[in-house]
Structure formats: C-alpha cells, structure tokens
Amino acid sequence: MTSLVACIGSGKGTWTEVKKLIASESWEKVFLITNSFGKEKFQADAEFIVVDDLQPAQALTPVIISQLNGRINDTEVAVNISSGSGNLHMAIFSALLKLGLGIRLIALVNDKVEEL
C-alpha cells in the first residue's frame, strides 16, 4: 500500500477531487499539506501538515521535510496537487525528493485513481 500526499488550498471548490481520492483507495497513510484554514475546514481521516502557504517555497520545504521525515515507510508516494498554490506545490516536490522518495502523480479520472 502506498501513502498519499496531497495539497489542500484555500479554495473549497478544489477539495472535491482530494476527498474522492482519499476515499477511493486503501492508502497506508494520507498526508494533507495545507494552511490553518484547510485543517480547520477539511474533514478527512488524514494527518495534516499545516504550513503558512504565503511563505516562499524555500521556506516551506524544510517545514514539510521535518513533518514527513521518518513517517513514510515506502520508497515512493502518490501525489496529488489538484488543489493549492504553485509555491506550495514546488515545496512539496522539493521536500519529497530531498527525503529520497519517488513520486507518482495521480488524479481522479471518471471516479477512478489514475497515474499520470
């Protein structure tokens, strides 16, 4: 089983795909990287990594690394960035790669998880 790392932005309209992705598979763990608003409002059985998404990617990367380090037991993760901002997406990719993890980009296509 693979862990899922997904980004949750401030726009609620982008949350639907992430909710469906979480529900559609039996993930080993689900990590949602978001701001305090996302943690407060997004309902999911997941581990939240709360960041200040107004910070630049170079400031966000070490925060994400410190929160994920030692918590993923596989060599790769499934990643979805359908929600969130570009600087947060870059920080997520940077953190995952610096942790030595492979990345499989996934999306929901016709209500099924597909690798891109």
Token pair belonging to 27 = 């993930």
Give the pTM: 0.95
Judged against a pLDDT cut of 80, whether residue 13 lies above it is answered with no
Per-residue pLDDT tens for 93-112? 999 999 999 999 999 999 89
Domain 3-115 CATH (choose: 1.20.50, 3.90.1520, 1.20.81, 3.40.50): 3.40.50
Predicted confidence band of residue 12 (pLDDT cuts 50, 70, 90): low
Q: CA-to-CA distance for 4 and 12, rounded, in angstroms?
A: 20
- Burial bucket for residue 116 (CB in 10 Å: 0-12, 13-18, 19+): exposed
Predicted confidence band of residue 23 (pLDDT cuts 50, 70, 90): very high
